[in-house]
Structure 1
Amino acid sequence: KKSGGEQDIMLGYSDSNKDGGIVTSNWELYCAENALVEIFDPLGEKHGIKLRLFHGRGGTVGRGGGPSYEAILAQPPGTVRGQIRLTEQGEVIGSKYANPEIGRRNLETLVAATLEATLLKPTKPATKSFLEAAAKISQSSMNAYRGLVYETPGFAEYFFDATPIREIAKLNIGSRPASRKANQRIEDLRAIPWGFSWGQCRLTLPGWYGFGSAVQEFLNQPKSADKKAALALLQKMYKEWPFFRTLLSNMDMALAKSDLALASRYSDLVPDAKLRKRIFGAIEAEWNKTVDALNMITGEKVRLAKNPALARSIRNRFPYIDPLHHLQVELVRRYRAGKHDERVQRGIHIAINGIAAGLRNTG
C-alpha cells in the first residue's frame, strides 16, 4: 500500500555475468522477466498490484551496459508498460548528463523507448524454435566461459598478473573493496573490478567470451545436414528477435573496443611463460571464434558495420588511449619489480583513469 500498489524487483546483471558469462546472464534474466510477468499479471487483475522492473545495469557490456534505447526495446513483451527503472553508473554520468543539451537528449531517448515499448504494437513473442536455440547456446556458452574462468588451472594467477587488478584495488574509486576476502580467488572478486580490469587490458572478456564456442557447437550438432538450417535459424533470430539482436550488437561493441595486440603486452606481465601462452592462447582462440560467429550471423565483416557513428567515435579515441596502455604496462612492470615511488604509482593511476575515460563504458 505504501508503494502505491507497485512492486519493484531488481535484476542483477553484474554477478550473473561473472558467474556464467554474457550469454547466459542475458538469457536467464530474459527468462526471469517473462516468469515475473506471468506471476504479476493475475495479481494485477485481482489486487491491482503492478510490476516495475529495476535494471541494475553497469557501464560495461558485461554488466548490462550498452545503448539504452535498444536495451529497452529488447525487453520481453509486457515488461515495460509505461515505466522502467534503471541504474546510470557513475563513470557514464559525466558523458551523458554534464552537458544540459546532451542530458536532455539522453532523457528523451529513455522516454521515447519506454513509450514505444508501451504504446506501439508489441513485437511477436519469440517462437519455440528461437527459445530452444537460445537455451542451447546459453548452456554451451556458460560451459565455455566457466571452463576458462573457474576450471582452468592457473587462470586466477594469470588474471591477477595480466591485468592491473591489484593496482585498481589501490585506487580510491569505489565504495567497497575490490574483493570480498583478502585472497586471489575469482569467486571472491567483486564484479565491478572484474569487468574494469578486462577493459584496462583491452580484452573486454566479460562482454563476449563463450559465444563463439556456443555457436560452433550449435552449428555442429550430430546431424551434419542440419548445419545450414541451424545457421539460417540464428540469422532469422538476429533479424526478427530484438533480444537476440541487441545481445549480438552489444558483443559487437565489446569486440570493437578490444585489441589482441595490446592485450598481449599485458599478458607479457605474467612471469610463467607456459601459463601465459596457454591462457592467452585460449582467449585468442575464443575471440576469433566469436568474431567468426558474429560475421556469419549478421552478414557483416567488420565490427559495428551497422553503427558507423559509434565505430568512428571509438576509432577516433584509439590514438589517445593506445599510448596510455603501453605506458601503463611499463609502469606496472616497474611497480611490481619493487619500484614503489610516488611518481610510478601516480602514473599508473593516471593511465587507469585515462583509459577508462577513453573507453567510456568501463565499470
Structure 2
Amino acid sequence: NPNVNAETLIQAVSRHSEVVLRHYLTEVHTLGGELSLCESLAGCSDALKLLAEQSGDTNLHRQDEPYRRALIGIYSRLAATLTVLTSTEALRHAVEPSEPYSRSEEFLQDLATIYESLVTHHGQSLTRPRLLPLIRAVEVFGFHMATTDLRQNSSMHEHVVAELLRGAGIESGYEHLEENSKIELLLILLGDARSLRSRHVSYSAQAEGELAIFEAAFDINQRFGSETIRHAIISHTESVSDLLEVLLIQKETGLMSGTLNRDGFAGLVVVPLFETIEDLRFAAPIIQAFYDLPGITDLIRRSGGEQDIMLGYSDSNKDGGFFTSNWELYKASTALAELFKDVPGITLRLFHGRGGTVGRGGGPSYQAILAQPAGTVNGQLRLTEQGEIIANKYGNPEIGAKNLETLVSAVLEATLLSSNQRIPQEFLAAAEVLSEQSMQAYRSLVYETAGFEDYFFEATPISEIAELNIGSRPASRKASRNIGDLRAIPWGFSWGQSRVNLPGWYGFGSAVEHLLKAGPKSNAALLKRMYREWPFLSTLLSNMDMVMAKANLALAKRYAELVQDKRLAKAVMSRIESEWEKTLSAFEIITGQKHRLESSPALAALITQRIPYLDPLNHLQIELIRRWREGQHDPRTQIGIHLSINGIAAALRNTG
C-alpha cells in the first residue's frame, strides 16, 4: 500500500501493544482480588515476599496479603509500561505507576514468582483458572501481541540501494548492472562496516520513506521486543540481488549488526516472495544460489536459523491459470524442501500467500494443508487469511477457536503422515502435461485474444470495484488496462461478481481433453486413480467443483451484454462456454459425479439456499452498471452498485 509509511507502522504496533497490555492489566487486577491469601495461613516464598515489599503498596489492610500486594506492584509496573509504549493510561491504580518493564520477560518472571510460590505452598489449583493462562498469553503475545511483517516490492529496494550508492559515489548506475556485478558489489558492501548514508546527501522522498520504515522497525524492536517485526517480505523476487539488497538496507538502518563475515546478525528474516509462474520455477535455484554465497549460511544461522519463503497463489493464477498455478506451487514447495535438507542448522518455513477465492488459493484450509507435498510442512507453516475471510472465520470467538484447531490439527497430521508418501511417477508426468495444456488454453484466452482487456473491463464490475473504499492496495499497479498490471485480488473478485469464476476452473477441460486424446482408456483410468489416491488432485477438483457450483453462465451472458463491441463479446463468451462444457465433462469422467457438489451435500444445500437471493442481486447490478456507464450518474445508482457488490460477495463467501 503506497499510503503505509513509518508513522502508520508505529501506530499499528502501538495499537497492538495497547490491546494486549490492557488485557494483562485486567487479568492482573482480577488476580489481585482472587489471590487475597493471608501469609500466616497460606505461606509464601521469600521471592514472593520480596516482590510484595517492592510493590509500593503500604495499605495497612493488605500487609498480610503478599500475593495481592505483589500483584498491585505488577499492575503498577504494567501501567507504566502501557504509558511508555502507547502514550495511554491505565484505568485504575492502587499505587502510583512505578518503573516500567523493559521487556515482557521481566513481567513473565514476576508471574513465575507468584506461580512457584503458590505451587510450593499447596496452592497449585489456584493457578489453573487465570494465572497459567496469563503466563501462556505473555509467552505468546509479549508486549507486541502480534508479529508484524514488512512487505515491499523488490524494485523499491533496488531504487533505495541505487540512491545510496549514487550518493556515496560508489556506483552511479546500479540499476543497469548485470546480476553478477550486483551480487559482487553487494557482498563487498555487506562485508564493510562503513555506512553508505550521508547527512550531506539529499535522497528522494521515496528512498527516505523506505529507509524511515526500516529505521522505525529497528526502534520498534528495541522498545516492544525483538519478535515485534521479524520478517521483511520481498514482493516479486526475481534474483539473488533482491535478497542481498534487503540485507544491505538492514545494515544501513541498524537492523543488521556487524558485517557479513564478522559476526553479523540480521534482525529481520529476508523473505522472498515468488509470485509468477516463471518466478516459482526459479525459486529453488535462486535460493540455492543465495545460500551458496560466502557468509550467507553462517549469517542466517547466527540470526536465528530461520528461513521463511513465501509462495504467491494470486499472481501465479492470473499468470498461468488455475491448474498450472497449483502445480507450479506444488513443485516449488517440493524443490525448496529438498534443498534445505542439505542446509544444516536452518529451518525452512513455507508461507502460503492464499486469498479467499479458490483462484487465489482459497478453499478449506484443512484439505489444502493435507494436500501439501511430503516434507514441506514439518510441524509449521504460515498462511494468509484475507478480506471477508477474516470476519467469516474469526469474527466469533468460538468459530475462531475451531478454525485455529483445524489449522493446528492439519499441520500435525500433514507432518506425521506425509513422511512415507511417495507419488507415482506417472501421476507427476500426467500433471505436467495437464499443466502445460491448461496454461496454454488459459493464456490463449487471457493474454493472446485481441480485445480481451476491453471485454474484461466491460463485462465485469472491475471499474466499479476500483472505486470502492475497500482493500489495502490500488486495483492496478499502473494506470492502464493491461491485465499484467492488474492486481490479482480485483481480477478474481470481478470474475466472481460476474458469476464466471474464471480463475477457478478455466483451462482444465482443455488439458484433460488433450490427455484423453493421447490415450482415451488408459489416461482416463490414470486420472481416476490420481483422483482417488492423490490429495493434490482430489483437493484441487473439490475446490473447482465448489467454484463451478457458484458460477452461472446464463448470468455471465447478461454481463457480456454490457460489452460495447458485440462481436468481441460473442467471441469471448463462446470460448468461455466451450471451455465450461469441456471442464464439466472432464470433471464427470474423473470423479463420476454428474452434478455439482455431489460429494458435499451440506455445502450444496447452503449454496442452493442462497441462489434465490443471489441471482436477483446480479440482475440488479447489471442494470445499475448499465445506467451508470450510460451517464446516469445519480448518487443512488452508485450506492446501489456498491451495495450489490457487497451483497454478492457476502453470498459467494469465498472472496477476498
TM-score range for the pair, normalised by the shorter chain length: over 0.9
Q: CA deviation at 1:322?
A: 1.1
Over 3 Å counting, the alpha-carbon distance change for 1:4 and 1:324 in structure 2 is: same
Q: How far, CA to CA, are the matches of 2:618 and 2:365 in structure 1?
A: 29
The 4+ residue runs of structure 1 with deviation greater than 4 A are none
Q: CA deviation at 1:16?
A: 0.4
Q: How far, CA to CA, are the matches of 2:373 and 2:345 in structure 1?
A: 21
The correspondence for 2:563, drawn from 229, 246, 270, is: 270
Deviates more, 1:241-250 or 1:67-76: 241-250
Q: CA deviation at 1:122?
A: 4.0
CA RMSD of the aligned region, Å?
Answer: 1.1
The correspondence for 1:158, drawn from 433, 441, 455, is: 455
Q: How far, CA to CA, are the matches of 1:155 and 1:360 in structure 2?
A: 27
Q: CA deviation at 1:66?
A: 0.6
Q: CA deviation at 1:120?
A: 3.2
Tell me which residue corresponds to 1:149.
446
| Higher RCO (CA-CA < 8 Å; seq separation 6+) | 1
The correspondence for 1:220, drawn from 514, 517, 525, is: 517
The amino acid of 2:548's aligned partner reads: L
The amino acid of 1:90's aligned partner reads: G
Deviates more, 1:111-120 or 1:283-292: 111-120
Helix, strand or coil for the counterpart of 2:326?
A: helix
Q: CA deviation at 1:178?
A: 0.9
The correspondence for 1:126, drawn from 423, 430, 433, is: 423
The amino acid of 2:362's aligned partner reads: G
Helix, strand or coil for the counterpart of 1:8?
A: strand
The correspondence for 2:490, drawn from 168, 181, 193, is: 193
Check whether the contact 2:561–2:569 (CA below 8 A) recurs between aligned residues: yes
Task: State the Cα deviation string for residues 212-266 of structure 1 (Å, max 9, x = none).
Answer: 0000011102xxxx31001000000000011111111111111111001111111
Over 3 Å counting, the alpha-carbon distance change for 1:3 and 1:195 in structure 2 is: farther
In the alignment, does 2:327 pair up with 1:27? yes
Check whether the contact 2:453–2:481 (CA below 8 A) recurs between aligned residues: yes
Q: CA deviation at 1:188?
A: 1.1
Q: CA deviation at 1:311?
A: 1.3
The correspondence for 2:503, drawn from 206, 223, 226, is: 206
The correspondence for 1:101, drawn from 391, 398, 401, is: 398
In the alignment, does 2:316 pair up with 1:16? yes
Q: CA deviation at 1:318?
A: 1.2
Tell me which residue corresponds to 2:304.
4
Check whether the contact 2:374–2:418 (CA below 8 A) recurs between aligned residues: no
The correspondence for 1:339, drawn from 587, 608, 632, is: 632
Q: How far, CA to CA, are the matches of 1:15 and 1:163 in structure 2?
A: 19
Tell me which residue corresponds to 2:590.
297
Q: How far, CA to CA, are the matches of 2:369 and 2:477 in structure 1?
A: 32
In the alignment, does 2:550 pair up with 1:281? no
Task: State the Cα deviation string for residues 174-226 of structure 1 (Å, max 9, x = none).
Answer: 222111121211111110000000000000000000000000011102xxxx3
Q: CA deviation at 1:11?
A: 0.6
> Gapped runs of 5+ residues in structure 1?
none
1:41-80 mapped onto 2 (5 Å cutoff): 41-43=341-343, 47-80=344-377
Over 3 Å counting, the alpha-carbon distance change for 1:336 and 1:236 in structure 2 is: same
The correspondence for 2:464, drawn from 167, 170, 187, is: 167
Q: Of the two, which has the highest radius of gyration?
A: 2
| Percent of matched pairs sharing the same residue | 67
Q: CA deviation at 1:2?
A: 6.5
Deviates more, 1:201-210 or 1:185-194: 185-194
The amino acid of 2:388's aligned partner reads: E
Q: How far, CA to CA, are the matches of 2:474 and 2:506 in structure 1?
A: 26
Deviates more, 1:174-183 or 1:66-75: 174-183
Helix, strand or coil for the counterpart of 2:304?
A: coil
Q: CA deviation at 1:275?
A: 1.0
Helix, strand or coil for the counterpart of 2:484?
A: helix
Q: How far, CA to CA, are the matches of 2:594 and 2:500 in structure 1?
A: 20
